[in-house]
Structure 1
């Protein structure tokens, strides 16, 4: 295993324990308990406790929410941006070179199938991927190493990062339904950043030409351009200009044919809603919504004097996407 400093070189401006102490000071000054603050965010009380203890790395969105709830004037978010959260991490030897490129890249364009790319994974999703490791300490090291790569791209003024996700990334369950719902919410939040664009290649669009494997096009600060792909426990690099140009053309066509960032957000939202409550609860809520809709229609028809028979009222209604987002047709098998 190789060792590396985080992308931001030099001594840490502060540390996780100091951030936790500052958070605790503002929380107590505002009259919140850990549980009360967790309910407002919302998150688990244990997450707040671990952040305050300096044993959990929070997202910048957590710091921003705490600033708003505790009325700190933005102190926590500014402090979060100055912290070297991962002063020392370990990557697998075969991935060390890629991690070093991430620390210097000016632009990444990525295509990913089956699982979320590491730069877009939530902490819970990363834990789900490494849950099969025999050692919990080893799993924690791998998770920390993976999350350490994200800070540079999530910071203000971060490098350009464009990710085209095959829809399989949204549908393959890692960890649990709750983990996937959180992961989808994470995608929606990260996709709002000015330097990040997330697009989805929907499964039903068979005309889309997808690369044969997940790949990343890496542009470095001195003009170097690399194509990166992976096989089992191996990373592959190619800086041949002809190879890079060929894959770059393929990627540009793929991105043009994929859903736009806005359309992709609607599909991600649909997937997130699908990971919500369990099926019985969804069915019960759907029945109640249908009953309420029928009652409204009867009242409207009564006022207008129109007539609608009971059979028409019982026809099932298609559930609309969140906030009236557009629905994308799916191909259904012929009988």
Structure 2
């Protein structure tokens, strides 16, 4: 059965309360994700979409194709958060995510945004249906050139989704799905345990908090310097005598 036929069979089960549209090449995946009973994702470079906090998602869109288009950025951010709503709840579908260490180290939006993202990640990782592993730089041996998602659908079907530069690729070929499921299992075996992964995320959080404090002190120092310069300019300007009463 093709993924298109499967989508038509399951079309009526999708929660269509979210009317925000996605790019055409992404829409079929979003429709399947909306009815999935399990998601297994591998992500490097940036934070996986279903785990992004609002500030991180907005900052990411602000640097993408929508840069400078505030209305489009807000729409894309709402769409991303809407996709998360059925997963980030205690009785939600399984959400198992392996993050390359680069996803928690690469700075998006500055240290304040990253601090919010790490706090969010630690918080949602406490949900019983959410499992997060981190694959440290030093542990990676399995070579997968792009992020990927394995979806488990209500009737037991599994599909694979990945992206290239310009489009998404969706496959329900049993051989392809099995191949990348094995790769995924290898990546999970190479990753830190859940507990150690959360410790690494907590360490990253402390680093971003320190960076945020340094940035704040730097801004305060710059503001003080600017005020001192303005006072010096004021002192050095020629004095204009005030008129005396009755003159």
1:174 to 108, 115, 128: 108
Q: RMSD across aligned C-alpha pairs, in angstroms?
A: 2.3
Give the direction of change, closer, same or farther, for the CA distance of 1:210–1:186 in structure 2 (3 Å limit): farther
Question: What CA distance in whole angstroms lies between the structure 2 residues aligned with 1:148 and 1:99?
Answer: 11
Kindly indicate whether the alpha-carbon contact (under 8 Å) linking 2:112 and 2:212 is maintained by their aligned counterparts in 1: no
CA drift at 1:180: 0.5
Kindly indicate whether the alpha-carbon contact (under 8 Å) linking 1:122 and 1:186 is maintained by their aligned counterparts in 2: yes
RCO comparison, higher one (Cα < 8 Å, 6+)? 2
Are residues 1:196 and 2:130 paired?
Answer: yes
Kindly indicate whether the alpha-carbon contact (under 8 Å) linking 2:139 and 2:190 is maintained by their aligned counterparts in 1: no
Can you give the 5+ residue segments of structure 1 that lack an aligned partner in the other structure? 1-6, 11-86, 285-335
Kindly indicate whether the alpha-carbon contact (under 8 Å) linking 2:89 and 2:127 is maintained by their aligned counterparts in 1: no
Partner of 2:149: 216
Kindly indicate whether the alpha-carbon contact (under 8 Å) linking 1:90 and 1:141 is maintained by their aligned counterparts in 2: no
1:155 to 89, 107, 113: 89
Partner of 2:190: 257
Question: What CA distance in whole angstroms lies between the structure 2 residues aligned with 1:192 and 1:267?
Answer: 15
Partner of 2:242: none
Can you give the 5+ residue segments of structure 2 that lack an aligned partner in the other structure? 1-13, 218-247
Question: What CA distance in whole angstroms lies between the structure 2 residues aligned with 1:142 and 1:93?
Answer: 14
2:199 to 266, 270, 274: 266
CA drift at 1:95: 1.0
CA drift at 1:205: 2.0
| TM-score after normalising by structure 2 | 0.77
SS in 2 for 1:232: coil
Question: What CA distance in whole angstroms lies between the structure 1 residues aligned with 2:152 and 2:212?
Answer: 45
Partner of 1:124: 55
CA drift at 1:223: 1.9
| TM-score after normalising by structure 1 | 0.57
Question: What CA distance in whole angstroms lies between the structure 1 residues aligned with 2:58 and 2:47?
Answer: 13
Flag the structure with larger Rg.
2
SS in 1 for 2:107: coil
Are residues 1:107 and 2:38 paired?
Answer: yes
Question: What CA distance in whole angstroms lies between the structure 2 residues aligned with 1:279 and 1:106?
Answer: 38
Question: What CA distance in whole angstroms lies between the structure 2 residues aligned with 1:108 and 1:94?
Answer: 19
